[in-house]
Structures are given as C-alpha cells and as structure tokens.
Amino acid sequence: MDNSTQGMSEKLVMYLDGELAGQEKADFEKQLEANPGLQEELNRLQQTRSAVQYFGLQQKVAGIHQQMMLELATPVFPISRGKKILRYSMAAAAAVILLVGSWLAYSFFSLSPDKVFASGYHTYELSNMRSGDGAGSTVIEKAFEGKQFDEVLKLYREGSGMGNRDRFLTAIAALEKNNDPLAIRLFKEQLESNRLSPKPVYNDESE
C-alpha cells in the first residue's frame, strides 16, 4: 500500500474490527471512498479475516471429528441380501454343529459300564441252532432254544440234566431273568468243574 502510512493501516484494521464509531467512522469512510488503494487494502484484510475464520472452523470441526471417530468407531453398514442369506445360513449351520457336538459330548461323558452292557448285550445262542433239527438236545437245551428261560430255570430246579452245557445254559437263563446270584453261582460251578477237568468247556463264556 504505497499511499498509506503505518497509522492509516492501523486505522484500517480498527475499521475492519468495527472499532471506529461516530464521526471518526464517517470521516474514515469518506477517505475510503476517495482512495481506491485504501479500498483495495481493506478488501485484502477482509479476505485475510475470512481465511482465519475458515481456518478456525476447520480446526473446530477437526477437534470434534477426532471425538466422533472414537464414538462411531464401529460403524454398522447396511448389508446386501446375499450377505444376509449367507449370514443366516452360517448361523443355521453353526446351530446344527452345536447340537450334534452337544449330543456327542453328552454321550461321551455319560458313558457307564451299565450302558455299554445294555447296548452291547446279546442273548447267548446255541451253536447248533442254525441247523434247527435239535436232534440229541436235552430238554433244557430245547427250552433254551425256544427262549423259554423260565422253563429252563424250572427244569433246573426239578433237577433235569446237569451236564456242563445244561449248567451253562441255566446260568444264561438266570442272567436273562435277572437272577444274578444263581447265574454267578452256576458260572462259578462251571469254572470249578473246568479247573478239575482235563478238557474245559465254556470257560471263557463263564468268566
């Protein structure tokens, strides 16, 4: 600003800041009208003030921006239909896996000798049952073959035959009828008999 003194420049800033009033302000505005150089200087100062205001606004928003980014750190974006279907499918698959896993875990942790016995027990079957002729069988064998376990026990009590085979079948029949003491006693007798015999039979089964 060639034609403005330091004092004039300071006065221009006071005018810019709204610090002139009354006659002083009116006189200065007259000077402004008559002096394009002074007007130009005022214009530059006004632009400079706008630049500061813009910077101030930018700084204010920047400060809040940081806070808001923390608050909105986990934005939830709308998801597409395809992604939604995939998400539900994954959830369903996870539920099935969880159910199956739970069932397997329950089965494993609730395993007991009684359960294994219940699931693995099969009635003893005579080796000659497949032929079906029953020739040479004792009455106990025949009753056993017909799964008439009560009849087997009855015949035993009546003293019908007491060979190794009959004793063993009677013990099995006692097991079937939950007469464990009798079954145990007969199995023990069989083992004792085997111990004395040079040709043991039903040894493994009795054990």
| Closest to 12 (Cα-Cα) out of 35, 110, 22 | 35
Phi, psi (rounded to 5 degrees) for 5? -85, 170
Q: In angstroms, give the least distance from the CB of 102 to another protein.
A: 32
Residue 167 neighbours by CB distance under 10 Å: 21
SS3 state of residue 10: helix
Question: Closer to another protein at the Cβ: 51 or 105?
Answer: 51
Q: In angstroms, give the least distance from the CB of 47 to another protein.
A: 4
Binding another protein (rule: CB under 8 A), the pick from 78, 113, 120, 136 is: 78
Question: Closer to another protein at the Cβ: 73 or 118?
Answer: 73
| 76 near another protein, judged by CB under 8 A | yes
| Closest to 4 (Cα-Cα) out of 37, 27, 28 | 37
Interaction residues for another protein, span 8-47 (CB under 8 A):
9-10, 13, 17, 43-47
Number of residues that bind another protein (CB under 8 A): 35
- The answer to whether the beta carbons of residues 144 and 136 sit under 8 Å apart is no
Binding another protein (rule: CB under 8 A), the pick from 69, 93, 97, 116 is: 69
